[in-house]
Amino acid sequence: MEIEESTPKNPNQGSNPQSQSHDNTSKPQQIPNNAQNNNQTQFQQTQKIELDPKAIEMLKKYQKNYPIKEYTYNDEVLHLPTRYKPGEIIGIGAYGIIISAVDLGNNNQVVAIKKLKRISDIIDLKRIAREILIMKYCQHENIIPLLDVIIHLNKDKNMNKVADVYLVMEKMDSDLQKIIASKQELSDEHYQFILYQMLRALYFLHSANIIHRDFKPSNVLINEDCTVKLCDFGMSRGIKEENALLTEYVVTRYYRAPEVMLSSHHYTKKIDVWSVGCAFAELLSKKFMFPGDNYIAQIKLIIDVLGTQDLKDLDFISNSSAKSFVMQFQNIPKKNFREILNCENPLAVDLVEKMLVFNPDKRYSIEDCLNHPYLKNMREGIEDPVFNGKINLDFDDKNITFSLFFVFLVKEISSFPTGLVVA
Ligand SMILES: Nc1ncnc2c1ncn2[C@@H]1O[C@H](COP(=O)(O)OP(=O)(O)O)[C@@H](O)[C@H]1O
Ligand SMILES: [Mg+2]
């Protein structure tokens, strides 16, 4: 298929699959109000994309003609350049499957390929762009490297233009969720090493003014040698993107910071600290720290462990009914973290307590966590790099059309081995 012209149409039409439940753990999800009118049928109907004539002209120079093969996994069809020899499914994501593959074009390196389901609108495209740009520009030992990006522009049976995106990444052995579920015995040194690497990745991201926003064990990839690499940046945001919380925050509730639930305006890097605290506590105890079945249960569980909060520590809650909801929990004593975590090392317990502070202003930052004595042995002689490149994730320009954004993304991925393939 050659890129050809179609009638320009409002690119903002269509539903938002971002608002679908974003979890692969079958844990309960809270769907925010702004997402409740989403339905699958609408999503199915809007998978075709419209590109205006100017965009089509601009795309021609990036178009590659690599041979493509089609593969079917359950209901999922993958179109991949022949340099990739696909293997088994290694993950089921919210937007598609993740398979292992061998890269015949690069010394048979084993890779992971994540299919992001058919692009349907500009909201999708921005999510995908964030995920790609973060992995492309944030190169760090503890962030999963992006090796190739494939945008496959195709036509469906009704001759509508459709586009799928594939992210080719270094393949890791497992993820932290699986390690926790396996109840594998780990030493205190392992715990330190895992925590240190998770914090290091976030320290780097935060130095780039990016908040991960969906930090949880399944997004922490891990190898047998305990090397950790953070993945899944689809929910990440630049710190300046102030509307982000209000518009599309659908992350897993268990790891959600109090301010995310109680105050839509309080939007800082500290939300990641809370999530690491929950994930690390879960790793130590092999139990979810705050497994709330719903919004209210979630807040209750948190206060049940942290105890009644001082009034002055609730200043961050701007919504008065949210504030009175929290204030009704009186005379609840703080629980003993050592017992909850079932952990012998008092330094580990102390650090978790400092990550899981209700008031975000009093909660440790990632840097504070790294400087905590628990990680002293890990850090000796090792540098924790900060980001010193340039990355702009501020896509909030309301005037940008789907077509223009598509061209922007194609340009960004043209530096990868494959890039845009047109069938
Ligand atoms: N590079 C990788 N190597 C090994 N497993 C991976 C890799 N990327 C993803 N996975 C597996 O797939 C799961 C889902 O991937 P993720 O990027 O988190 O997608 P989603 O956005 O749908 O959550 C992960 O929890 C992990 O188990
Ligand atoms: Mg994930």
**Residues 325-346: tens digit of each pLDDT:** 999 999 999 999 999 999 999 9
Q: What is the H or E stretch that residue 180 is in?
A: helix 176-181
What is the Å distance from ligand 1's center to 112 Cα?
A: 8
Per-state percent for the chain, helix, strand, coil, to nearest 5 = 40, 15, 45
More confident residue, 261 or 36: 261
User: What is the pTM (predicted TM-score) of this model?
Assistant: 0.88
**pLDDT confidence of residue 10:** 34
Give the residue, 267 or 369, on which the prediction is more confident.
Answer: 369
Number of C-beta neighbours around residue 123 at 10 A: 20
**Residue range 296-311: average pLDDT?**
96
Share of the chain above pLDDT 90, in %: 70
Q: What is the rounded average pLDDT for all residues in the chain?
A: 86
Q: Give the whole-angstrom CA distance, residue 323 versus residue 321.
A: 5
Which residues keep their CB under 5 angstroms from ion ligand 2?
Answer: 219, 232
Mean pLDDT of 7-11: 33
pLDDT attached to residue 45: 47
Q: Quick check: is 103 catalytic?
A: no
CA distance 256 to 301: 12
Residue 35 contacts residue 19 (beta carbons within 8 Å): yes
Name the closest-CA residue to atom 10, ligand 1.
91
Identity at 324, one-letter amino acid code: S
Q: Which of 52, 103, 148, 214 is catalytic?
A: 214
122-126, 165-169, 228-232, 289-293: which range is least confident on average? 122-126
Mean pLDDT value of segment 274-283: 98
